[in-house]
Structure 1
Amino acid sequence: MTRPISVQLYTVRDELAADRDSVLRRIAEIGYRAVEPYDPTADPEGFRRVADDLGLTVSSTHAYALLSQEPAQVFDAIATVGTDKVIIPGGIAEEEFTTRDGLARTADLLNTLGEQAAAYGMRIGYHNHWWEIEPRVDGRHAIEVLADLLAPQVFLEIDTYWAAVGGADVPALLGRLSERIEALHVKDGPGVKGEPHVAVGAGVMPVPGILAAAPGAWRIVELDECATDVFAALADSHAYLTSLESS
């Protein structure tokens, strides 16, 4: 794999709020060479300056703000942060993923955002949780039906852990959606809702098989919640993923 391993900065949201620059430096010291912000509108100039100083690429960014703020301002901030991959990580009612009509409305929203993003040289992606996986529509996971309704330029960032929690055979799902996937959230844990995540490689997820099923996608480590030292978990995750790449 040629792309560096990235980390979703929501993992260290509390630490970032206290001292952003030190947190980014610590992430770089662990060995990460890319990050995925979750709020690109928060001091984009300052963020870009620190990321550049540390040699950190921005693999992509989440952008809840596109659902509530003036799109032009959000896209301008994303351009400053320095990525062309803009991901909607939620904010759409869970019920919309239970029917074909709801999926059509969701696709229309994402396709419209995709048209807006194109004017800025950017592309829109969608990030799943379990509620896009659990419902079956026409005998398939809801996200698979959604993928068929998306415009060609709209991509998927598959959260592999929540896909498993939602009942998917994750490598098989990735294989079926391979043409749409440009990024993976690689995380680990006990495989149930409501329990903290652990370092990648220390839980129940079949990580080697997952990575093999989407070899060209960005690998983005995330821990939504962590019961241990989060930086130690990030370091262990990076070491594990690096060992898989070199094996």
Structure 2
Amino acid sequence: MSPAFDRRGLLAGLTLAGAAAAVPALAARGTPLLRRIGKPLGVQLYALGDAPRTNLPGTLRRLAGMGYRDFELPGFYGRPAKDLRADADAAGVRFGSIHLALPARTPPGSPSLMSSPQELADTLGALGVTQAVLPMPLLPDRLSFAPGGDPRAAFVAAVEAGGLDMWKRLAALLNERAAALKPFGIGLGYHNHNMEFRPQGGTTGWDVLLGELDPRLVFIELDLGWAAAGGRDVVAELRRLKGRVRMVHVKDIKASTPTNYALQQDPAEVGQGRLNWRAILPACVAAGVEHYYVEQEPPFTRDRFASMQLSADFLTRFVG
């Protein structure tokens, strides 16, 4: 066998091997992204308004029929954790996370972020949940609401009055609570809105908070829609926070949304707004995101379940 033949055989073999390797690669490229990375489609039940409170079993079943499997609770809906878990089990879904408020914003009888670690471990354990998220910054126990005015204005005014020191105090609280919960197997995170991104003294509350948080203790649940409404490049933010963003709220906004820091946005179903999901979703994967929770703010232009269906359709088919 001549050396020339050997070379031709080697080249042919490499070509065939390369073609064989390309087949699964091409197949993978045609597989929807969430299925390819083995992550379930999730939803924050806040987006469904009063439906989960009045009929949680029916709500979970309808959403499960759309492909949602990972559910984040906005609270306990005034019900025992074991009953919530029973509804999820019956629908064939799971709760992956829950939002816990501070005592002043927690309904009577429900655990808050400041409940004892043992109480939270017992309650969340009954839910099957090991991750909790604080969804708002520190606010006064009492807020002044103007008669007939927009209640969002009171929240924004309180955040602005707290200055940068409030974000430092918030970081200290989160670090302390996370350290107390860690021995009980509970992870703690923080969820942003767009108030965090208001420029203050050459920085922002967001950057102060991130600088003060212990990344070994506190993870980030990045709300992509609110970050975009606050003027952030979402892809750049995900890259900057690689390894710290455990969850995202997959939220879209219309092009008419101005950059603002006052809880304002023009909401859209995922894939119907201005966010560049072809760049954002792969950036989420690269950042190490584990939970993808669809959320949408009111006002809705159609039935809320119809909106969740549109977002699910987009995400379950998205290849990237």
TM-score for both structures, normalised by structure 2 = 0.70
TM-align CA RMSD? 2.1
| Residue number among 51, 60, 75 corresponding to 1:15 in the alignment | 51
1:135-174 matches, within 5 Å, as 135-136=199-200, 138-139=202-203, 141-151=204-214, 152-174=216-238
Shift of 1:142: 2.9
Query: CA separation of 1:202/1:35 partners in 2, compared to 1, >3 Å: closer, same or farther?
Result: same
Matches of 2:252 and 2:54, distance apart in 1: 26
Matches of 1:147 and 1:18, distance apart in 2: 37
Matches of 1:137 and 1:83, distance apart in 2: 39
| Residue number among 198, 222, 233 corresponding to 2:295 in the alignment | 222
- Residue in structure 2 matched with residue 115 of structure 1 by the alignment: 179
Q: Which runs of 4+ in 1 moved over 2 A?
A: 40-43, 65-70, 72-76, 95-98, 134-139, 191-198
1:130-209 matches, within 5 Å, as 130-136=194-200, 138-139=202-203, 141-151=204-214, 152-190=216-254, 191-192=257-258, 194-209=264-279
CA contact (8 A) 1:199 1:237 kept: yes
CA contact (8 A) 1:97 1:142 kept: no
- Residue in structure 1 matched with residue 89 of structure 2 by the alignment: 52
Shift of 1:74: 3.8
CA contact (8 A) 1:60 1:85 kept: yes
Query: CA separation of 1:177/1:145 partners in 2, compared to 1, >3 Å: closer, same or farther?
Result: farther
Per mean C-alpha deviation after superposition, the further-off stretch among 211-220 and 233-242 is 211-220
Provide the secondary structure at the position in 2 that maps to 1:155.
strand
Query: CA separation of 1:171/1:86 partners in 2, compared to 1, >3 Å: closer, same or farther?
Result: same
Shift of 1:120: 1.9
CA contact (8 A) 1:103 1:145 kept: yes
Matches of 2:301 and 2:135, distance apart in 1: 23
Matches of 2:79 and 2:98, distance apart in 1: 12
CA-to-aligned-CA distance 1:25-67 (integer Å, 9 cap, x gap): 1111111111000114632111111212222122211111566
CA contact (8 A) 1:127 1:159 kept: yes
One-letter amino acid matched to 1:25: R
Provide the secondary structure at the position in 2 that maps to 1:86.
strand
Shift of 1:204: 1.2
CA-to-aligned-CA distance 1:127-167 (integer Å, 9 cap, x gap): 0000112235654x432331221122200000011101111
Per mean C-alpha deviation after superposition, the further-off stretch among 221-230 and 153-162 is 221-230
Provide the secondary structure at the position in 2 that maps to 1:35.
strand
Q: Does 1:29 align with 2:57?
A: no
One-letter amino acid matched to 1:159: D
Matches of 1:5 and 1:96, distance apart in 2: 38
Percent sequence identity over matched residues?
Answer: 31
Paired positions, count = 244
Q: Does 1:82 align with 2:128?
A: yes
Q: Does 1:242 align with 2:309?
A: no
Bigger Rg over Cα: 2
Per mean C-alpha deviation after superposition, the further-off stretch among 74-83 and 202-211 is 74-83
Shift of 1:219: 1.1
Structure 2: gaps of 5 or more residues:
1-36, 107-111, 140-158
Structure 1: gaps of 5 or more residues:
none
Query: CA separation of 1:75/1:90 partners in 2, compared to 1, >3 Å: closer, same or farther?
Result: farther
